Amino acid sequence: MLLYKQKKNQAVKVNRFLISVTFLGSAGPIRFVVNEDELVAAVTDTALKSYAREGRLPILGSDLNNFILYCPIAGTEALSPWETIGSVGVRNFVLCKKPQAEKAIDSEKLPPISRKGSGSWKSWFNKSINPKISSH
């Protein structure tokens, strides 16, 4: 008696690849595997979560709406959050914060400046950076 193995329905093969996301101001890139049909917004979210999980500095936050993903090879335009990551055709990206619009400061709306405590900020600064040398 012969036993035949039934072939399982093969799922559609999804291309996956390793990408490298560099954060401005951080020591090095984060690398992880993504599907080529994943949205840029999902990749940005994954990168921010990985960055926070590793405890990297500077602390960036987790709101993906505050960040832009660039492809330094493809040009200076930011990637749209709704395009797929595989459509760019590259593996290296740069993630940085969106530039904040300069807010016009109206002097009439500013609260009055009050000075609390004694001394100036210069004396506080000098005291805080003064190296304390301990004898051994």
| pLDDT of 93 | 94
pLDDT tens digits, residue range 57-102?
888 888 888 999 998 887 778 899 999 999 988 999 999 888 876 4
Assign domain 16-97 to a CATH class: alpha beta
Q: Is the pLDDT of residue 32 over 70?
A: yes
| pLDDT of 128 | 62
pTM, entire model: 0.63
Q: Is the pLDDT of residue 129 over 70?
A: no
Q: Per-residue pLDDT averaged across 32-48, rounded? A: 95
| pLDDT of 23 | 92
3-state secondary structure the chain: CCCCCCCCCCCCCCCEEEEEEEECCCCCCEEEEEECCCEHHHHHHHHHHHHHHCCCCCCCCCCHHHEEEECCCCCCCECCCCCEHHHCCCCEEEEEECCCCCCCCCCCCCCCCCCCCCCCHHHHHHHHHCCCCCCC
pLDDT band (50, 70, 90) for residue 48? very high
pLDDT tens digits, residue range 100-127?
764 444 444 545 554 555 556 666 566 6
| pLDDT of 89 | 87
Mean pLDDT of the chain: 78
pLDDT band (50, 70, 90) for residue 38? very high
